[in-house]
Structure 1
Amino acid sequence: MTARLAAIYDVENPWGRDDKFFLRLAAETPAARVVDLGCGTGRLTLALAAAGHAVTGVEPARAALAAARVKPGAERVTWVEGTAADLPDAAHDLAVLTSHVAQEIRDDAEWAATLAALRRTLVDGGRLAFDSRDPAARRWERWNPTDSRRRLTLPDGTVDAWTELTEVRDGLVSFLHHYLLPDGEELRSPGTLRFRTEVELRASLAAAGFTVERMYGGWAGEPVGASDDGELVVVARAPAGRPGRGAQRR
């Protein structure tokens, strides 16, 4: 992600119902130690810190992290350029992956390693929460130049944007975002997301030692498949009381 794309990202992805969901979830543990993995430009990260939580924002994209670090309230957050592998042991009460970051982790072995690292950084009894689009909703069918076209207003003018679907294969969906800038330059941002089924998510979480507490199909707590949101919103818990590790804060 470039600095220009980071600025466009912020305009295209304002505060929404998903952010409210994760903020409410964190509030269930007052003054929680939260790690926001794949924090991007810090939209939710900063809100969690403003709510009184001790927050670590982890992001591998340097431009996104640079944008986050200069926003108001950024001094309240510990920013880490890296991945889940860089997190310390037994240091967090809650780990979140939002804005479908979980789908950016495409390889099954990498996903398993990420879950293992998150289990390691959570205290016993700590929680993991993330969102992933439900493949049964087939949301990628709307990713075409007609249905996806939108106009974004930036400080230096308007940007016309649309998304082009490029491939759907073996649970992987590839696409290309187009951004036509005010000066006529076109930026293109490719991506590929992994669409895991509910069964696949539950199996991977169980293999990593997590117990699924809640799984919703939408941001209002609807059952899977019963919401137009087309989501799989997961809240899981790490086991408590293992030898050598306690759920008490350190």
Structure 2
Amino acid sequence: MSNNNEWKHFFGAAYQKFSQYILTEDRTKVEVENIEKILDLQPNFKILDLGCGSGRITIPLAHKGYHLTGFDGSNYSLNIARNNAGNLPITWIESQIKDLDSEHKYDAILSIGTAFGYVDDHEDKQTMEKIYHMLNQGGKLLIDTENRDFMLHQYSENAWNEMGDQIVWSKRKFNPLNSRWREEISWNEDDNIESSILNVRIYSAHELINLLETIGFKVQKLYGSLKLDDFHMRSSRIVIVAGKE
């Protein structure tokens, strides 16, 4: 199981700094438009954005007139989201996904950018059961997460990437007995080596589909990313639309 302090530290200031080079404005614009399309969002829909972070998806959807709730366990990220949202009527909730209040109902629930998998399999299933209960009849869940098959195909214990003007390096370990991915990411900050740790359960498409269908969801669509390309083994992402019918 992932240490609670690990993921809180991981999604802190450094994540916000480096993610801007990956989660660009152009990418966000395309993803928001495609989310509207594949979920067939309607005016006055109530939408829950799980793991909303700094509001990258939440805020643009709120600008379009939908009723948004942003949910995240990182106080640091939510403070940025609140500031970026200004006077938009968004409800912000700071809590862990496993502690969802299942009494609230929504027309659509989003889990974008590998927002779950930080607890064990049993708690992941409990979370999905809560999500199913929180959806109105006919409501839809959208999951966007890492594709385990792709990650293992690309697997190397060490990696280096350029993030702006900085080099970021990673040390990785994969546990085949529980499909947990542990990655220590390091960089130089004012002549000091800083690091954070990602410890997450990564899923294959068939595992996620089986989990959702066991709970009662009907899987409606499967894509290889939020660009809506066809899914295959080497797709970098798994994007699933599942309905409560």
Query: Deviation string for 1:109-139 (max 9, x for gaps)?
Result: 1111111111121111110001122222235
Whole-Å separation in 2 of the counterparts to 1:6 and 1:66: 14
2:225 matches 1:213: no
Query: Deviation string for 1:21-58 (max 9, x for gaps)?
Result: 32434553233110001111111111111111100000
Q: Which runs of 5+ in 2 are unaligned?
A: 1-7
Match of 1:7 in 2: 16
Whole-Å separation in 2 of the counterparts to 1:20 and 1:179: 34
TM-score under structure 2 normalisation?
Answer: 0.82
Match of 1:149 in 2: 161
2:234 matches 1:237: no
The residue type paired with residue 52 of structure 1 is G
The residue type paired with residue 151 of structure 1 is M
TM-score under structure 1 normalisation?
Answer: 0.80
Contact 1:90 1:124 in 2 (8 A): no
Query: Deviation string for 1:221-240 (max 9, x for gaps)?
Result: 333217x542221000012x
More moved, 19-28 vs 160-169? 19-28
Query: Deviation string for 1:122-167 (max 9, x for gaps)?
Result: 1111100011222222357356655x41132xxxxx4432322134
Whole-Å separation in 2 of the counterparts to 1:237 and 1:92: 12
Q: What is the root-mean-square deviation of aligned Cα atoms in Å?
A: 2.5
Contact 1:140 1:173 in 2 (8 A): no
Contact 1:134 1:232 in 2 (8 A): yes
The residue type paired with residue 16 of structure 2 is A
- Aligned-residue identity in percent: 20
Deviation at 1:71, TM superposition (A): 1.1
Match of 1:65 in 2: 78
Whole-Å separation in 2 of the counterparts to 1:47 and 1:144: 37
The residue type paired with residue 194 of structure 1 is R
The residue type paired with residue 98 of structure 1 is I
Whole-Å separation in 1 of the counterparts to 2:56 and 2:73: 16
2:90 matches 1:82: no
Q: Residues 191 and 34 from structure 1, CA distance in 2 versus in 1: closer, same or farther, beyond 3 angstroms?
A: same
Contact 1:34 1:55 in 2 (8 A): yes
More moved, 49-58 vs 71-80? 71-80
Q: Secondary structure at the match of 2:140?
A: strand
Match of 2:5 in 1: none
Which is higher, the Rg of structure 1 or of structure 2?
Answer: 1
Match of 2:145 in 1: 132
Q: Residues 129 and 74 from structure 1, CA distance in 2 versus in 1: closer, same or farther, beyond 3 angstroms?
A: farther
Whole-Å separation in 1 of the counterparts to 2:18 and 2:52: 13
| Structure-to-structure mapping, 1:70-219, within 5 angstroms | 70-73=83-86, 75-84=88-97, 85-89=99-103, 91-102=105-116, 104-138=117-151, 141=154, 146=159, 148-152=160-164, 158-170=165-177, 171-181=179-189, 183-219=190-226
